[in-house]
Amino acid sequence: MLKQKIEGIKSESLEKIKKSASERELYDIKVKYLGRNGSLTKILKNLKNLSPEKRRVAGPVANQVRRDIKEACQNKKKELAEQVDWEKEKIDVTLPGRKTETGHLHPITLVQRDIEKIFTSMGFKIADGPEIESDWYNFTALNFPQDHPARDMQDTFWVKNNKEKFVLRTHTSPVQVRFMKENKPPLKVIIPGRVFRNEATDATHEHTLHQFEALVVGDDVSVGHFKYIVQEFFTQFFSKETKIRLRPCYFPFTEPSFEFDINCTVCNGKGCPSCKGGGWLEIGGAGMVSQNVFAVAGYPKNKYQGFAWGFGLERLAMMKYKINDIRLFHGGDLRFIQQF
Ligand code: DAH
């Protein structure tokens, strides 16, 4: 009985092997009979439960069939390999290769890295802060009084939260306070990052943009140091001698506050269409850090002095690469982005 069953397996499997048309098919056949749960394997495993006489008959037959199946598989495999259609498989090695597209850095990232390199060479640290910021850090800690109209200058997106008010941060300045809470003067730090404003977008306004904050605090830090560092930075950034000009302005977290301009990089200050004839380009806001902000950070009043400034990275990238519309940066137009 058992012998017949084994013979049955033999003829069935060898027939299938003969007919198989691919290596994959061959593999499946082998598994069906010789795999862990294969039908022949089961018989072989069960030999030990048979009476000695039956085992003496079935054992050698089963083992021989196992060898036969293996051998047939091997032979068929070789046969299949020889049947390759070389005409189809032929490749023309003289054809030009297909170029793989590689990614590249976004112009904003390029500018950010340039800036970081210059400032770290001057001994500045680089810090980071959350993009979803509490109302307290974004405004209150920076001396914006509750209900003061200055909050409206930076209309933003509010994040619903029952316990505390959160905003998509409107500027990188809140990280000044976060950093000062963790670090004692003297300190020099830059804070690049993404900020958000509720803007009606046009060629020079975007709702999502990048800013760049700098903060220097010590015993004896003055506006003179500010002027020198900014001038040095821009001279290196544009690889040409750059002059800076300060104009009085208002920010709640600096006292005094000013806006600063650099001489036009296109005409070197002589006056041209880029600077609307004035010879100067507006860059950003700055000032001497308010003692109220130092107090929030836990510094003793009137012990330290420091300056801070912030400006938009997009604007700088636009000047460096002569880009005339801020919306191009995140517009997703490959014709623009692939130029970098
Ligand atoms: N955070 C201000 C803004 O987004 C810019 C600014 C002004 C930053 C004065 C400063 C500063 O650090 O001192 O409009």
* ∠ CA 300-175-136, rounded to 5°: 80
Domains: count for the chain: 2
Collapsing DSSP states into helix, strand and coil, what is residue 195? strand
**28 is a domain residue:** yes
Is the beta carbon of 13 within 6 A of some atom in ligand 1? no
Both 221 and 255 in one domain: the answer is yes
CA distance readout (Å), 26 to 6, 30, 39, 67, 70: 20, 6, 16, 15, 11
Range of the domain at 328: 107-337
**286 is a domain residue:** yes
d(CA 265, CA 71): 81
How confident is the model over 111-168, as pLDDT tens digits? 999 999 999 999 999 999 999 999 999 999 999 888 777 676 667 888 887 788 899 9
Both 85 and 113 in one domain: the answer is no
**94 is a domain residue:** no
How many Å lie between the centroid of ligand 1 and the Cα of residue 284? Answer: 7
**64 is a domain residue:** yes
How many Å lie between the centroid of ligand 1 and the Cα of residue 235? Answer: 21
Is the beta carbon of 142 within 6 A of some atom in ligand 1? no
Task: Report CA torsion sign: 61, 66, 71, 76.
Answer: positive
Q: Is the pLDDT reported for residue 284 higher than 80? A: yes
Residue that has been written with the tokens 């083992």 in this structure: 63
Atom of ligand 1 nearest to the CA of 153: 14
Atom of ligand 1 nearest to the CA of 211: 4
* Nearest one of 291, 288, 315, 318 to 302, comparing CA atoms: 291
Q: Is the pTM of this model over 0.85?
A: no
Collapsing DSSP states into helix, strand and coil, what is residue 14? helix
- Measured by CA distance, the residue closest to atom 12 of ligand 1 is 309
**37 is a domain residue:** yes
Question: So what's the pLDDT on residue 150?
Answer: 65
Percent above pLDDT 70 for the chain:
99
Percent above pLDDT 90 for the chain:
68
Both 112 and 61 in one domain: the answer is no
d(CA 79, CA 73): 10
d(CA 107, CA 89): 45
Q: Is the pLDDT reported for residue 85 higher than 90? A: no
Comparing 86-95, 254-263, 278-287, the range with the smallest average pLDDT is 86-95
Which residues, 6 or more positions from 95, have their beta carbon under 8 angstroms from its beta carbon? none
How confident is the model over 288-333, as pLDDT tens digits? 999 999 999 999 989 999 999 999 999 999 988 988 899 999 999 9
Is the beta carbon of 265 within 6 A of some atom in ligand 1? no
Domain boundary among the residues 89, 118, 152 is at 89
Both 72 and 130 in one domain: the answer is no
Both 60 and 181 in one domain: the answer is no
pLDDT tier, 267 (very low <50, low <70, confident <90, very high otherwise)? confident
Is the beta carbon of 312 within 6 A of some atom in ligand 1? no
- Measured by CA distance, the residue closest to atom 3 of ligand 1 is 171
Atom of ligand 1 nearest to the CA of 254: 13
Mean of all residue pLDDT scores within the chain: 92
Q: Which residue has the higher pLDDT, 151 or 79?
A: 79
Both 85 and 115 in one domain: the answer is no
Both 136 and 226 in one domain: the answer is yes
Task: Report CA torsion sign: 320, 203, 252, 263.
Answer: positive
Both 41 and 163 in one domain: the answer is no
Q: Which residues pair with 216 in a beta bridge?
A: 188, 307
CATH number of the domain to which 299 belongs:
3.30.930.10
Atom of ligand 1 nearest to the CA of 289: 13
Both 146 and 274 in one domain: the answer is yes
* Nearest one of 202, 192, 216 to 110, comparing CA atoms: 192
Question: So what's the pLDDT on residue 204?
Answer: 85
Is the beta carbon of 174 within 6 A of some atom in ligand 1? no
